[in-house]
Structure 1
Amino acid sequence: MPRAERFRRFLAYFTTHFPEPETELHYRSPYELLVAVVLSAQCTDKRVNQITPALFEQFPTPAHLAAASVEDVFALIRSVSYPNNKAKHLAGLGRMLMADFGGEVPSTLEELQRLPGVGRKTANVIVSVVYNQPAMAVDTHVFRVAHRLGLVPRTATTPLAVEKALVRYIPEALIPKAHHWLILHGRYICVARRPKCEQCPLTDFCKYYHDKVRPGLEPIVAPI
């Protein structure tokens, strides 16, 4: 099946059945989303949502976070993955937001990636969700689902290569939504070790399903 046709079917399904997807991270401001996304690296959104209410109560603004010590931050995020590094990143992030950006979350990838703990994926999430720019954040879910569906070539072996391959075929207005569609599909249906193909509405064009499942192979350990 031509790749353009796979994209057409992917977009047709989700625009019809899930037209307004949203992040599952809880936030009330760009600052809160930025902190939550930094915390979510290699950690579940559910865990992040459990700890951020207390964190934002104590540090409700970038100014409060800038005045915090690493130890103060660590005490509130100790249950996430890599809490030591993330505490250092958040304390530094608060200070840089105040010193370099007047307490405002910047709106460009270049400026966002200057912040401690903010890589391209996190920066893409912020410009997409907060500023509605056509940015595609590629996490493990997006990487896996894009390959399994056959939306990207097998030669796309890095997050940046997957990002470029996806945005090539998705209309700019739909890129922020497609990011959520791929993440949520990977989180609940196209899971890493045992994809729930029997529940999936995309099997008619899914490359993984047609190559590995339909011929009778058991999808226990997936290749991506």
Structure 2
Amino acid sequence: MIEDWRQRRAAKRITSGDGRALKRFRWWQLPLRALFYLPLPDGDGRQTVYAVDIPRRTDPEGGKARAHLYLDGRHHAESKLPAAFPVGGGTIEVAISAFGLKRCHYVTATGAQHGLLPDPKSAEGRRARVEREHPTLSRSISFLSVLILLIGVGLNLLQLAEPISQIPPIAENVGTFASPVRLPIWLNFALAVGAILGSTERALRLRYSVLDQAGK
């Protein structure tokens, strides 16, 4: 029931496209744009190619980011995010976080999920190439991003627990907590930057969890 409600709500955000051609990805658009593809066979034995173009900026009119769906190179539809575009045999679901994409998947009518293919020139495509051509390096980067997030979130939670525990109702019922960690401002800032970089790296691989939410 909840999923049906979400689908109906997402459908209301979709507007028809204007038929314009899909522009090629340029290197200088790395921090400004994400582009993914979904090739699907149609009933005539041919292949239909969907493309999802996500500018990394908010819509000046609505104040929210938008996803644009292209069909065989032509603008087919657009939607505020999160988006759910009905396509052949299923739905393309797109969602973002504060650090980038957290979802760009094709969900079939049977519930199977498949990630879309990033444009090779995009940041997501370049990160996928590292994972494909240098798996050991990729795993090291992934491990480091999670480690930085764990350290940053853990230390910040310890420091936040102390002032929160001093709120009168909490102090009276639970008691106060003295943080064993007191970091200088510069180190707190460095941890925050590290957490942002770690979550951004994970977003390039469309990884998102409670850890990334806490890092925000």
**By the TM > 0.5 criterion, same fold?**
no
The structure whose residues are more often strand, as a share, is: 2
When Rg is computed on C-alpha atoms for both structures, the one with the higher figure is: 2
Give the TM-score normalised by structure 1.
Answer: 0.23
Give the TM-score normalised by structure 2.
Answer: 0.24
The structure whose residues are more often helix, as a share, is: 1
